């Protein structure tokens, strides 16, 4: 009887080469360490860059007598990091407190009145103020819900963020109940497109807004888990793409979708 050749247990690489077990193990350790260190390192580096950026612009504005570096430099030749950031946060707190009293409100109203009289500056100021009030106010929900919709063609899907119901001229020109959807770009979600899409053509997702942003930034590498129940996961809410036949909505082949589950959770008046 002929003996069977022993099976080579070494892994095969992309080029057909068989790297040694020790080399493959060290390589896996290297990538595991890189995955563990890279997020922490990049986060610390970005925080340090932001800290130095604020310090470089705020610290020179601090009076010499009130600058802690003035008294520390004779004993320690380096400046204390974060002094400018602390002063900047303190100034914002003071300004926010002043806006709550009569004198502060009067000064803010006076400055806005002056800016609104400047031809070019008033356009920049009004747009910046509107965006800041929408995004930064605690009671505002800039991104209400993550939705799925067909873009840019039939059978191609994208995720976006519901920002509210469409109002004004855009809504009055169509018979559809239209909503505002922000379609961000990858990997920079701060840029994107504003789309006006009929409510019936949107599929709401169970993922949170934060999870949707992470998915977009990572280019789909970070995918949130489906936290729906097995019964909900078994229900198909989007039909297979087949030419010009709608994949969602009342004219789609999907007939077993529960009622009121395919529309975004947002009031029509918002």
| Structure-model confidence comparison of residues 75 and 18, the more confident one | 75
- Rounded Cα distance between 177 and 191, Å, is 26
> Does residue 94 form part of some domain?
no
> Does residue 215 form part of some domain?
yes
> Does residue 149 form part of some domain?
yes
Q: Give φ, ψ of 257 to 5 degrees.
A: -80, 135
Domain range for 176: 141-270
Q: At what angle do helices 102-115 and 83-98 cross, to 10 degrees?
A: 100
> C-alpha angle 265/267/270, rounded to 5°?
125
pLDDT score of 5: 56
Average pLDDT over residues 197-216: 88
> Does residue 245 form part of some domain?
yes
Q: Are 146 and 205 in contact (CB under 8 A)?
A: yes
pLDDT in tens, 79-102: 778 888 888 888 888 888 887 777
pLDDT-derived band of residue 25, with 50, 70 and 90 as boundaries? confident
pLDDT in tens, 119-141: 877 788 777 777 666 555 544 45
Q: What's the chain's average pLDDT? A: 78
Residue 253 pLDDT > 90: no
Residue 69: Cβ-neighbour burial (10 angstroms; 0-12, 13-18, 19+): middle
Predicted TM-score (pTM) of the model is: 0.54
Domain count, the chain: 1
> Does residue 127 form part of some domain?
no
pLDDT in tens, 180-205: 999 998 887 778 899 999 988 888 99
pLDDT score of 268: 40
Q: Give φ, ψ of 146 to 5 degrees.
A: -90, 130
pLDDT in tens, 133-163: 655 554 445 677 899 998 888 788 999 999 8
Residue 12 pLDDT > 50: no
Average pLDDT over residues 213-222: 86
> Does residue 221 form part of some domain?
yes
| Structure-model confidence comparison of residues 136 and 48, the more confident one | 48
> Does residue 65 form part of some domain?
no
> Does residue 175 form part of some domain?
yes
- Rounded Cα distance between 240 and 252, Å, is 9
- Rounded Cα distance between 207 and 227, Å, is 8
């Amino acid at each position: 009887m002929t003996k069977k050749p022993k099976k080579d247990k070494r892994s095969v690489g992309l080029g057909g080469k068989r790297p040694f077990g020790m080399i493959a193990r060290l390589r896996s350790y290297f990538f595991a360490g890189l995955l563990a260190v890279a997020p922490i390192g990049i986060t610390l580096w970005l925080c340090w860059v932001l800290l130095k950026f604020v310090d470089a612009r705020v610290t020179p504005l601090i009076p010499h007598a009130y600058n802690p570096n003035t008294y520390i430099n004779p004993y320690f030749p380096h400046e204390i990091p974060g002094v400018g950031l602390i002063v900047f946060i303190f100034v914002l707190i003071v300004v926010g407190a002043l806006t709550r009293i009569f004198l502060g409100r009067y000064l803010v109203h006076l400055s806005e009145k002056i800016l609104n009289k400047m031809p070019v500056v008033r356009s920049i100021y009004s747009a910046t103020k509107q965006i800041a009030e929408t995004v930064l106010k605690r009671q505002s929900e800039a991104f209400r819900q993550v939705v799925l919709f067909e873009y840019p063609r039939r059978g191609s899907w994208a995720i976006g963020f519901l920002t509210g119901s469409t109002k004004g001229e855009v809504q009055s020109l169509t018979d559809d109940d239209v909503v505002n959807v922000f379609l961000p770009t990858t990997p920079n979600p701060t840029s994107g497109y504003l789309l006006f899409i009929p409510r019936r053509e949107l599929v709401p997702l169970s993922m949170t807004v934060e999870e949707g942003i992470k998915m977009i930034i990572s280019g789909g590498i970070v995918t949130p888990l489906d936290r729906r129940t097995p019964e909900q996961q078994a229900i198909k809410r989007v039909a297979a793409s087949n030419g010009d036949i709608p994949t969602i909505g009342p004219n789609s082949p999907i007939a077993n979708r529960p009622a009121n589950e395919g529309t975004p959770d947002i009031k029509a008046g918002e």
